[in-house]
Structure 1
Amino acid sequence: MLQVVYPVSGDCIICKGYTVDDRWLCSSCENKIKYCQERFEVTKNNKRYSYYCLAYYSKGISELVLRLKYKSDFACANALGEKMAELIVKNNLVIDFITFVPATKQSLMKRGYNQSQLLAKVIGEVLKVKVISTLDKIKETKDQIGLNEEMRWQNISGSYKLRSDMKIKNKKILLVDDVMTTGATTFCCAEELIKSEVNCVIILTAAKSKL
């Protein structure tokens, strides 16, 4: 199981260059990352949810996301998760529980882990907030890569289901995922969470991408 670990001073996680103060990134790599400064909204059928993204999907962040997702580089989860936790603090967001976009059993068997869950775990450990599994992915879907916006919404519709034993009424929930593109995935997950009469759902992703 992933645990929060600390970087070795002098070893940038991207370029292996020199770092200071036990940071994951050197100043050169840090400066290349395009951090998001604003709050966004995903809207569908006159419903909307606020979401925050650590950075735009560009050089640096994209490498960390891909290494985590496809190369089992769990140090990237620590690097991204810690920065995502800082974003929560920076925006003075109060949350009761942290949850994550679930993966199907088939996906878990193939990859061995859920990258969104790993990010949530790091954020939870940094913020001292409990991470809970609230949703199940109940059907296999096509890879969203290559699909246009309408196809993405159709592809993901009805894919998630709220677990019946959830006791999160009136709670403030942070929903974590790795990448936000159209928002279809996190929107559908948020809609399920609302069925538990939560106080609110705030979405947080490591990266914001474009089609």
Structure 2
Amino acid sequence: MGNGIVKNLIFLKDCLLETIYSNDEKCICCGEEIYNGKYICSKCEKTIRFCNYGFDIQKEKVSFKCYSISYYSGPIMNLILQLKYKGNFLAGQVISEYMINLIKSKKIKCDYITYVPMTKKRLKSRGYNQTMYLSKMLSKSIDIPVINCLKKIKDTKDQIGLGKEERWKNIKGSFKFSKKYCIENKNILIIDDVITTGATAVSCGLELKKYGAAEITILTAAKSRV
């Protein structure tokens, strides 16, 4: 977990520098100088293809309500890749702010927030879980606790490049609920970065349903398509 500690220290350093040099920032997407205390310029923000609707995914006779900030393109795709593969936590901060706005505008209610977990091997390799980071940012803002109630117990192929049925087959049996938590009759918000077929997040939701969860909502940074 050494990498995770280092990356979090870098994040804290960036926050401190932002406070000191708040009028000398550059857009996190295009590099243009901005002076409004934000990390993304208005020009880039205008190109975001926001999703202004929720959608349902049904699996095993269970329906899951899903929301995404935008389609997986442009600035949001840029921000996700920066957070996921480059450890840019400022990109995560921008994503979380859009998620918070969506939660408020859609009046999403929940008792707990959780997230799509990684295997121990993948977590050790990357040093952090971007979905856990986003969850904690949301928790601070909307004052809803994050619970680490899911474990990924099986290494899987990267879902990128797989077809719809292959994705479901690849992820099957990958997640296990931690019984130290009581989620019976609780509404839970699952956080992920990108949703395509929904195989990953919905598999997490189905595992939570086995242990009595009531309504489960899925929130992602972006929505993609197979």
Q: Flag whether TM exceeds 0.5 (same fold).
A: yes
Gaps of 5+ in 2: 1-7
Partner in structure 2 of residue 92 of structure 1: 107
1:209 matches 2:224:
yes
Give the CA deviation at 1:20.
Answer: 4.9
1:185 matches 2:200:
yes
Please give the per-residue CA displacement for 1:48-67, whole angstroms capped at 9, x wherever unaligned: 20010011001111111111
Q: Is this contact kept in 1: 2:39–2:90, CA < 8 A? A: no
Partner in structure 2 of residue 41 of structure 1: 56
**1: CA distance, partners of 2:95 / 2:124:** 24
Gaps of 5+ in 1: none
Identity %, equivalent residues: 41
Amino acid at match of 1:55: S
**2: CA distance, partners of 1:19 / 1:208:** 28
Report how many residues are paired: 211
Give the CA deviation at 1:120.
Answer: 0.7
Give the CA deviation at 1:170.
Answer: 1.7
**2: CA distance, partners of 1:19 / 1:30:** 12
1:132 matches 2:161:
no
**2: CA distance, partners of 1:20 / 1:46:** 50
1:66 matches 2:81:
yes
**1: CA distance, partners of 2:15 / 2:70:** 22
Of 209, 216, 220, the match for 1:194: 209
Give the CA deviation at 1:23.
Answer: 2.1
Query: SS of the counterpart of 1:207?
Result: strand
1:27 matches 2:64:
no
Give the CA deviation at 1:203.
Answer: 0.4
**2: CA distance, partners of 1:25 / 1:148:** 33
RMSD: 1.7
**2: CA distance, partners of 1:129 / 1:17:** 35
Please give the per-residue CA displacement for 1:75-111, whole angstroms capped at 9, x wherever unaligned: 1111101110111011111211110000000100110
**2: CA distance, partners of 1:178 / 1:36:** 14
Q: Is this contact kept in 2: 1:12–1:18, CA < 8 A? A: yes
Partner in structure 1 of residue 3 of structure 2: none
Query: SS of the counterpart of 1:210?
Result: coil
1:106 matches 2:110:
no
Which TM-score applies when normalising by structure 1? Answer: 0.94
Q: Is this contact kept in 2: 1:181–1:208, CA < 8 A? A: yes
Larger helix share, 1 or 2? 2
Give the CA deviation at 1:21.
Answer: 3.7
